[in-house]
Structure 1
């Protein structure tokens, strides 16, 4: 059930502490840019675990969260280090159960979008013809056929996605708590509207959101918390603010490929406590 509340200004640590609990279903969304890295790192820092993570295109942020032991399940439609290769921490969890076994539920992009849209509309499922002719239905029992009451056509259906918490990054919020997203838009709106709580990190807080082309405005009354976090999407980019750090994506491949190197990276850059716990498992 959607909790309608006016967005509150909070620090990122306060927002994660208030709204993200162990065992929850959490979606960190952003497509190509505006990926909420700072929020994901704060979840690692606060030691959250047993999370069911949802993301249309998990990239190195979820590789980091999975490697840090935050996740028990991943619902996704593509997983990789964009332009580089595999997600090694993701693969280690699936193939070898390190640092913990990871359940996966794989979808198509369109299927994930349909599931989020269904969740936002408070419908029980979404529809996606794109599954027909693929082998996804053979590996994902949550993709099922329903019969159209008008044409008798069998159409693939997916259960609605309704996260406990959605977390996104955006360019701006105004002082009332309304949020602007400009540039490429993924499923941020649908994820926020489908979720019980929503945290938004932003580059800046302004008096007026302005009239930006291709803008998406999320009203304050569907958001739980606004956190001022300049640079909160790095190493992805924020349209109009900073470019993608391609070197960071390239460098991640060798860091993630080795458990010991990953643990060292985690301890040096994000969470020494989490790294220390992983050392006992390596």
Structure 2
């Protein structure tokens, strides 16, 4: 019996951002060191989105750039920094001086953010965790609250335990290695909370290095981290995670991470960088082309093939 044709959800990055990201939205951008959706952030900047609440566990360079472009009014995060290479100049200016505009900042632990996504994905009213006991985070974040467990603790008495609220972004944007046209998305190497962030969201856009034929995805189903029914749009955007890396496609651009601290320390220099590399490029393909093939050759990776797996089938 022939399988029904899969829905084709392919859009350009410009189309996906125009359709799914609106002023005032809560927008999740996830990817943990690996597969950071930088190209998506750049397109949000190009389209001039404003007053966004950005939810990102590890707020890094792409958040700094979106702040400098005036896209973000609230940041929800558990880490801010330039990934072991220095500071985020624009974010520091917003938090420390309130210039050129103040930034509302909601701080959680890494696990607290994971629990928020889990609660959002499961449509739960909150998620319990122990890790805030003894922490001073509850003093700066009133959303960290305690509830009484309905079950007795080790001493037989009801236990007080911290909980975090769910997060349900208006849209989640993630980067991945590959997907089929319907949105079945595969990730290998270092994974983060991409799947949880997608399931928690009202709508989801997956940006990938390549869109592959359906049979490629079906040949290795265990690598499918995000299923098609959770995805609203699929965008092919090669090298769209730069300066982070995509396992098997290109390496991390460590030189850029080191340079960013110096770029972002000076507000005018940062805005000049945006003018040249984001506003001055029509789309991510133009950004990639401006860097040049010699540059990309320097980030090329060798093969490290996985052995085939025999899933078996009926004879």
Structure 2 length as normaliser, TM-score?
A: 0.82
- Indicate the structure whose relative CO is greater, using CA pairs within 8 Å and at least 6 residues apart: 1
Pair 1:183-2:184 in alignment: no
- Superposition deviation, residue 210 in structure 1: 6.2
Among 263, 269, 277, the residue aligned to 1:261: 269
Partner of 2:63: 62
1:209 CA displacement: 2.2
The Cα of 1:213 is off from its aligned counterpart by: 9.9
Q: Map 1:41-120 to 2 at 5 A.
A: 41-120=42-121
Of 260-269 and 214-223, the range deviating more from structure 2 = 214-223
The answer (yes or no) to whether the contact 1:67–1:99 under 8 Å persists in 2 is no
Conservation of the 8 A alpha-carbon contact between 1:197 and 1:223: yes
Counterpart pick for 1:204 among 207, 210, 214: 210
| 1:10 is aligned to 2:16 | no
- Equivalent residue for 1:238, pick from 233, 242, 246: 246
Q: Secondary structure at the residue paired with 1:8?
A: coil
- Mapped to 2, the partners of 1:74 and 1:263 lie a distance apart of 20
SS of alignment partner, residue 79 of structure 2: coil
Q: CA separation in 2, counterparts of 1:177 and 1:142?
A: 34
What pairs with 1:121-132 in structure 2 (closer than 5 Å)? 121-132=122-133
Measure, in 1, the Cα distance between the counterparts of 2:251 and 2:222.
19
> How many pairs are equivalent?
269
Q: Matches of 2:110 and 2:121 in 1, distance apart? A: 17
What is the DSSP-based 3-state SS (H/G/I as helix, E as strand, rest coil) of the residue aligned with 1:261? helix
The answer for unaligned runs of 5 or more in structure 1 is: 1-5, 274-282
Match of 1:228 in 2: 236
CA contact (8 A) 2:86 2:258 kept: no
Question: How far off is 1:182 after superposition?
Answer: 1.1
Superposed CA offset, 1:175-207 (max 9, x none) = 333111111111100000000010111001112
Q: Normalization by structure 1: what TM-score?
A: 0.92
Cα distance, 1:212–1:255 mapped onto 2, change above 3 Å: farther
Could you list the structure 1 runs, at least 4 aligned residues long, displaced by more than 6 angstroms after superposition.
none
Root-mean-square deviation over aligned CA pairs: 1.7
One of 180, 205, 215 as aligned partner of 1:174: 180
Cα distance, 1:41 vs. partner? Answer: 0.4
Cα distance in 1 for residues equivalent to 2:273 and 2:172: 27
Identify which range, 82-91 or 101-110, moves more after superposition: 82-91
Which deviates the most, 88-97 or 19-28? 88-97
Deviations 1:74-105 (A, max 9, x none): 00001100121221111111122233210000
Residue by residue over 1:33-85, the C-alpha shift from the partner in whole angstroms, topping out at 9 and shown as x without a partner, is 00000000000010001000000111111011111111110000011001212
- 1:3 is matched with which residue? none
* TM-superposed deviation, 1:243: 0.5
Structure 2 residue aligned with 1:135 = 136
2:310 corresponds to which residue? Answer: none
Note the C-alpha offset of 1:211. 5.6
Between 104-113 and 86-95, the greater mean CA deviation after superposition: 86-95
